[in-house]
Structure 1
Amino acid sequence: MSMISGIQGQLLEITVVSCNKLKDTEWISRQDPYVCLEYGSTKFRTRTCTDGGKNPTFQEKFVFTLIEGLQEINVVVWNSNTLTYDDFIGSGKIQLQKVLSMGYDDTAWPIQTKTGRHAGEVRLIMFYANANKPATSYAPSYTAPQPHTPMYSAPSYAAPAAAYQTLSPYPAYPPHSAAYPPTPYPPPQTTAYTPVYPPPSAYPPISYPPHSAYPPASYPPPTQDYSYSPGPYPPRPY
């Protein structure tokens, strides 16, 4: 049996959950069981589960102060009587090696009668916060860099903004003056105009016939005489 050291003064939590298939000590009515835990000089007792019979339920938690070298707890189950002494149902030993090494244990522990016969089970949930951890804490803690995170960051040289400003000989005015409302007319188009010419025709140009080689037609002169002959006019009166 391996012994776990360094438990002196540490706290151990034990929850008595229930009992299963207990030996029945009553002949007429149902028995009223309760559970007692003993560790060193520390003793705890659960409440009495009235009419619990063979499968009582408790759900009670107790806290023990551990003792170096003592790694087992005695458990005893009794049947409560009113007029006579309580009836002994069974007892057993709870081993603490698992809970002290792993920090948690949920087991149904068997109990026996005084003659060594099986008397049922007691289910306990034990928790130990200072359990021995694996030797992984001695490894250096190292977090691998993420793929998108560079291992070395280049120094950033931030030059003053004034060194990159160009001095202008003209005063700077705000782009829009708050004293004048914006014009409702759209801004002029700045797109350059490209004249569109009709594509060249696929047909040949029209050819006109040349001047005729024949002489112009001659017409006879007019036969009527249009010459002017002054007629006799009366004398003008004076």
Structure 2
Amino acid sequence: MHSSGIHGQTLEITVVGCTKLRDKEWISRQDPYVCLQYGSTVFRTRTCTDGGKNPTFNEKFTFPLIQGLGDISVVVWNSNTLTSDDFIGSGKIQLSKVLSQGYDDSTWSVMTKRSKYGGEVRIIMHFANPTNQHQHAAPQHSMPSPYVPLPPHASYSGYPPNQSHQPSYQPVITPHPQQSYPPPAISYAPSLYSQQTHSSQQTYPSNQVYPPSPNPYPPTGPYQGIYPPPPY
């Protein structure tokens, strides 16, 4: 696999264990161990004494990645004390998933020298800078925000406003209130009438009868209190 920008970065590999291994011992239980090779780097797990067909290791190793090298060789051996170690099986661990997603927990098969099934090895891998980490983050910003801002002076909860009635907050468009034209005459008559009536009433004393009786004062002349004068 060819991934740009991975050279020199760190890949963590944990050898969890093996299952269903081909048994190389006839009398006692076999003692398996696992070897990993990536480029010129080789790691070996401890020997799982009497591990038999299902040994457990849980050992972590760190590999510096190499540009263009996308697999790791894995070999399972049976440790012997007096003779050479027995070959159980070998296989390839592909790095495409861990380099693209940052994590891979898989079981890889190993084959014997005669290309027969030799068992399985469980491997967990971590990579800190997967190549598609930005592709997964992009959809978080691609959807429009569900928030719709309300007008700053709105005091109601519904938006958009109900078109069936005029909201109370909306200002009147015309600068002055509309009036009928011509204006009714009665709008000015009451004040004028009240002023005229008030002024006419002030010409007479409040203790007299309105209108006053004719000739309230006796005429002046030679005959006091009689009008018209009697004939001679």
Normalised by the length of structure 2, the TM-score is 0.60
Structure with greater Cα Rg = 1
Unaligned 5+ segments in structure 1 are 154-238
Which has the higher mean CA deviation after the structures are superposed, 46-55 or 131-140? 131-140
Paired residues of 1:145 and 1:151 also in contact (CA < 8 A): no
1:10 maps to what in 2?
A: 9
Paired residues of 2:23 and 2:30 also in contact (CA < 8 A): yes
Q: CA deviation at 1:107?
A: 0.7
Paired residues of 2:6 and 2:67 also in contact (CA < 8 A): yes
1:42 maps to what in 2?
A: 41
CA separation in 1, counterparts of 2:109 and 2:141? 44
Tell me the C-alpha RMSD between the 2 structures: 2.4
Structure 1's 85 and 138: CA in aligned 2 closer, same or farther, altered over 3 A?
Answer: same
Paired residues of 1:15 and 1:59 also in contact (CA < 8 A): yes
Q: How many residues are matched? A: 152
Structure 1's 136 and 152: CA in aligned 2 closer, same or farther, altered over 3 A?
Answer: farther
CA separation in 1, counterparts of 2:119 and 2:152? 66
**Per-residue Cα deviation, 1:184-204 (whole angstroms, up to 9, x for no partner):** xxxxxxxxxxxxxxxxxxxxx
Please give the residue correspondences for 1:159-198 in structure 2 after superposition, counting only pairs within 5 Å.
Answer: none
Q: Which amino acid aligns with 1:69?
A: G
Q: CA deviation at 1:115?
A: 1.1
1:66 maps to what in 2?
A: 65
Partner-residue secondary structure (3-state), 2:81: coil
Paired residues of 1:37 and 1:43 also in contact (CA < 8 A): yes
1:85 maps to what in 2?
A: 84
CA separation in 1, counterparts of 2:100 and 2:137? 16
CA separation in 1, counterparts of 2:102 and 2:151? 39
1:206 maps to what in 2?
A: none
Please give the residue correspondences for 1:190-229 in structure 2 after superposition, counting only pairs within 5 Å.
Answer: none
Q: CA deviation at 1:6?
A: 1.4
Unaligned 5+ segments in structure 2 are 154-232
Paired residues of 2:2 and 2:67 also in contact (CA < 8 A): no
2:120 maps to what in 1?
A: 121
Q: CA deviation at 1:145?
A: 7.9
CA separation in 1, counterparts of 2:151 and 2:16? 54
The share of aligned pairs that are identical, in percent, is 64
Partner-residue secondary structure (3-state), 2:135: coil
Structure 1's 102 and 113: CA in aligned 2 closer, same or farther, altered over 3 A?
Answer: same
Q: Which amino acid aligns with 1:65?
A: P
**Per-residue Cα deviation, 1:161-185 (whole angstroms, up to 9, x for no partner):** xxxxxxxxxxxxxxxxxxxxxxxxx
Structure 1's 29 and 3: CA in aligned 2 closer, same or farther, altered over 3 A?
Answer: same
Structure 1's 135 and 31: CA in aligned 2 closer, same or farther, altered over 3 A?
Answer: same
Normalised by the length of structure 1, the TM-score is 0.58
Q: Which amino acid aligns with 1:135?
A: Q
**Per-residue Cα deviation, 1:17-73 (whole angstroms, up to 9, x for no partner):** 010000100011000000000000101000000000000000001010000000100
2:98 maps to what in 1?
A: 99
